Structure 1
């Protein structure tokens, strides 16, 4: 069967998987197993897509990597401890399996690699869950993604060392990449924002991989480090958004090729099911670790539950180890089954996360550290709340503060942005708008207006439902981009401002005001001229 038809089969299986609430990659894996049963093999195109997907995945990780954030103990400390504990637990299961099922042929090397592969959680799964719930900007999403990046870095180091090649002396020339950062950013600026910009991103990822590979260092590490050079810059963030779906598209080839490799043996299948179900145990350690590192209990719970799965990076580790002959190729199929099982059991847990916190809130708050209590924002005498202090929220703050003064409070979750606002003497605080604990500290009966300047419809809906559920009777206004979003909010009694539709009115008012001023200036010049005459 031609490779393009394989992609169509993967598309159909991915859509079916998404329709039942599972990540699309489960469908891609299933498509591979189905095609294997039909004696279908993949061709060169599928292999190329697979390699490109891994390269773009690592490049995208580099673009999101903020060294300053990753150095926080709650990120790297939790990740390191959890990965070690997970590996010990998996090693225990594998040792027991070897005793009960000697036919598995598990050795110390195999056990160590398998345990390492199961210590990761899925970036694809977490991002999909957060996007669907409109929580990508939340504290628990940032916390979970920070942990995932540290895990991914550990996997990249494994991939870089897996070739066993000693870097050539010419690898020292790679130090020239550091001063190349500004020229690369300049190149991206010249590329604009359209297809040239996206193509430049592809070229940078491929070029980075090829350059590193040419000096004896695994190319995937090169793609990652080129991304790190651009991390934190506006162009880097824009490039990460543009490449998001392309990366997932190319990874289809990787997941298909895993399924096409075939099913594991029955005994290995049973072990894969057990290891897949063990993903539900991950939050039992994540939660106490997070709270120990002074994370609020709600943030810790939601982040922990989102990480209750196994990762596609585990598949990559196993695939690379299989090519080196360290593990048998049947482990790729076993790992894919374990990942699919972990997604199936993790999805209901994540859907119940918010209700679990509300139900056990009092008990969970006992784990709150004194440091977290001391950082609660001052919410006294607040009459207007603005959620989201970007350009729109800042403009709204300046306009409404003329009437309400210090009774206006701006809320955001970006520490650097908040520091800038404080320097401008604005009253702002760090908080998660979707956190009911924050709203419990607000005198809702004294609050007159809540302005949702989040520009994320799902998040706006989430916060609006939370407020109404807590009995808030005041006015809520929200920023939207599309008519259907405005309709959904207005059905809940929320005033919606359409950025696109109503921006024209604002533009016309601005132009008309300038025209009036010009006429007045012209009239004044004419009168002055007549007086001089």
Structure 2
């Protein structure tokens, strides 16, 4: 019972630390990984000491890395690798080899480390954090940017390269080397890998097919976990990394029909256990060592970033074909150490390659480098704000020259283009304004159209467009705030003109109604048509579906008008919406009864 109580207490401590630290770190734009690391440092023996023995959770937390590698294996189908071959095997291979050899050389010649130790140290520090880097890019919406795609390719190769590195550490280790008997360990490794490959190819799919027929979600989840943990256990028995077995299992199932189901089942466990892994890393960080040797630890951290960043810049520039600003962002995101380095260095320590003090120093250096990355990214964003390149506007686009227009249109996006086509076909004289040269050029290429460059928020542009002679001013831009400001200016300068404005939502409608404009909801009519098509597909006739949609439209417009009278009172708006929902159901029910009576 005491053991059970301590286990529950540890679980509460871990969950509470994660719940507090991770949202706080994300709010500060530092990323979830840094939040987990900070939580581990806080509850570990170095500070509060809520958990005295970090090793007690290390074996469970390592399953997070195992599951991460299984997910990576699932995503690495041969076809995908072939499409990304240049970025993955070009830039990725160059980055790992160049960085690994450089750091290994510094460790070997500069710090007199043994050759095996220097190689493991160099290749381990060449790896960056996949979880940290991709999350940082995703939070900043940069995954699809040029440097984001290049970072993903390099991280992908690093994840692949981590597998043989993890597998070869026992062969390089002093403890294993002392007990090695010829080629027996190598044969044991090759035999285990062959068993996983053969079993995965001929057994996994039939097993999943049988389990799928049971239609029991819990059995399917248990089977997925059995495959991952079972292959990891087999590899551990062979004396190599558990992660290698999980990665191979994922690769073997990458092209199977069960891939997406497996990923969805494993993902929650992976996220939770990977978070536990980062917490355990933070717990093992020796803060006392940082306080005793601050210059040494901070110097090693700066040296790591100083060695990796220029090589990343070189690879991104020469192989990735990135421009300078994107290359610098790539370097900053990937210059820190990564989660696989924790795994590699822990194994190296257990195999006698690293002394305890060196291992503790490396854990601190990697943790600090990851902590510095978000700060470096923020600093880079402020220092390298993209310069706004002024648009080159041809002279003919700026000279607004037309006869007296009956309609002025602001905005030549999708809605503006349709409006101009209708007016042109009806031979209604109009003038269209836009601030995007590309939109003007595209519209003019379709025919001789009176479309000009001009900001409708500038009174002199409105005068040049002869708004005073027009009957209608149509605002079709996709920015609600710009639409409101334009409507306010036009209403103040030209009170006689009728304004028709594109609106985003009901709150936008109320503000434009206050200005006397006619609001047109940008998605309302298309949503009505989609609803009509759905009703037809559900068995209603054309007449019935049309009647329901017309009923809904009239009812919604009446409700909107009623809500406009109380739109400054939120409780009244909510109450009106509830009453309207019930009323609409009653009206639809009455229509059904009437239709049955007619029949």
Q: Quickly name the TM-score band, shorter chain normalised.
A: 0.5 to 0.7
Aligned runs of 1:367-516 on 2, under 5 Å? 443-446=438-441, 475-476=477-478, 506=530, 509-512=533-536, 514-516=539-541
- The match for 1:126 is 133
Contact 1:64 1:240 in 2 (8 A): no
Aligned runs of 1:57-72 on 2, under 5 Å? 57-70=68-81, 72=85
Go from structure 1 to structure 2 and tell me whether the alpha carbon gap of 1:204 and 1:356 turns closer, same or farther (over 3 Å shift): farther
Deviation at 1:314, TM superposition (A): 0.8
Q: Deviations over 1:316-367 (max 9, x none)?
A: 11111111121123344323322232233321443466676663799xxxxx
Go from structure 1 to structure 2 and tell me whether the alpha carbon gap of 1:282 and 1:345 turns closer, same or farther (over 3 Å shift): same
Query: Does 1:115 pair with 2:128?
Result: no
Deviation at 1:225, TM superposition (A): 1.1
- The match for 2:63 is 52
- The match for 1:203 is 226
- The match for 2:301 is 276
Other structure's SS at 1:73 match: helix
Deviation at 1:249, TM superposition (A): 1.7
Go from structure 1 to structure 2 and tell me whether the alpha carbon gap of 1:343 and 1:91 turns closer, same or farther (over 3 Å shift): same
Aligned runs of 1:134-533 on 2, under 5 Å? 134-164=141-171, 165-168=185-188, 169=191, 172-173=194-195, 174-180=197-203, 182-183=205-206, 186=209, 198-214=221-237, 218-231=241-254, 235-237=258-260, 239-240=262-263, 243-261=266-284, 263=286, 265=289, 270-277=295-302, 278-279=304-305, 282-293=308-319, 295-297=321-323, 300-351=327-378, 359=386, 443-446=438-441, 475-476=477-478, 506=530, 509-512=533-536, 514-516=539-541
- CA–CA distance in structure 1, aligned partners of residues 93 and 413 of structure 2: 42
TM-score by length of 1: 0.63
- CA–CA distance in structure 1, aligned partners of residues 293 and 269 of structure 2: 33
Contact 2:316 2:327 in 1 (8 A): yes
- The match for 2:99 is 86
- CA–CA distance in structure 2, aligned partners of residues 361 and 477 of structure 1: 20
- CA–CA distance in structure 1, aligned partners of residues 360 and 193 of structure 2: 36
- CA–CA distance in structure 2, aligned partners of residues 359 and 274 of structure 1: 32
- Alignment partner of 1:4 out of 8, 11, 18: 11
- CA–CA distance in structure 2, aligned partners of residues 215 and 487 of structure 1: 62
- CA–CA distance in structure 1, aligned partners of residues 219 and 350 of structure 2: 36
Deviation at 1:59, TM superposition (A): 0.8
Contact 1:3 1:42 in 2 (8 A): no
Other structure's SS at 2:111 match: helix
Other structure's SS at 2:540 match: helix
Other structure's SS at 2:229 match: helix
Go from structure 1 to structure 2 and tell me whether the alpha carbon gap of 1:216 and 1:44 turns closer, same or farther (over 3 Å shift): closer
Q: Deviations over 1:275-305 (max 9, x none)?
A: 3233265343323323423534265454443
Query: Does 1:25 pair with 2:30?
Result: no
Go from structure 1 to structure 2 and tell me whether the alpha carbon gap of 1:170 and 1:151 turns closer, same or farther (over 3 Å shift): closer
Q: Deviations over 1:33-92 (max 9, x none)?
A: 442134542378623421211211211221222444445233222222222332344345
Q: Deviations over 1:404-437 (max 9, x none)?
A: 9xxxxxxxxxxxxxxxxxxxxxxxxxxxxxxxxx
- CA–CA distance in structure 1, aligned partners of residues 384 and 148 of structure 2: 16
- CA–CA distance in structure 2, aligned partners of residues 112 and 268 of structure 1: 25
Size of the aligned set, in residue pairs, is: 409
Deviation at 1:144, TM superposition (A): 1.4
Structure 1 or 2, whichever has the larger Rg, is 2
Q: Deviations over 1:496-522 (max 9, x none)?
A: 769xxx9898356323364326999xx
- Segments of 5+ residues of structure 1 without an aligned counterpart are 100-105, 363-382, 386-399, 405-439, 449-472, 479-485, 521-533
Deviation at 1:487, TM superposition (A): 6.9
Q: Deviations over 1:447-483 (max 9, x none)?
A: 67xxxxxxxxxxxxxxxxxxxxxxxx964499xxxxx
Q: Deviations over 1:127-170 (max 9, x none)?
A: 21122123444554332122112112222212223344334457
- CA–CA distance in structure 1, aligned partners of residues 214 and 145 of structure 2: 32
Go from structure 1 to structure 2 and tell me whether the alpha carbon gap of 1:183 and 1:82 turns closer, same or farther (over 3 Å shift): same
Deviation at 1:26, TM superposition (A): 2.8
Other structure's SS at 2:438 match: coil
- CA–CA distance in structure 2, aligned partners of residues 193 and 300 of structure 1: 49
Contact 2:101 2:119 in 1 (8 A): no
Go from structure 1 to structure 2 and tell me whether the alpha carbon gap of 1:356 and 1:504 turns closer, same or farther (over 3 Å shift): farther
- CA–CA distance in structure 1, aligned partners of residues 383 and 311 of structure 2: 17
Other structure's SS at 1:118 match: helix
TM-score by length of 2: 0.57
Deviation at 1:315, TM superposition (A): 0.9
- CA–CA distance in structure 1, aligned partners of residues 437 and 210 of structure 2: 48
Deviation at 1:268, TM superposition (A): 6.3
- CA–CA distance in structure 2, aligned partners of residues 496 and 209 of structure 1: 54
Backbone CA RMSD of aligned residues: 4.5
- CA–CA distance in structure 1, aligned partners of residues 107 and 271 of structure 2: 32
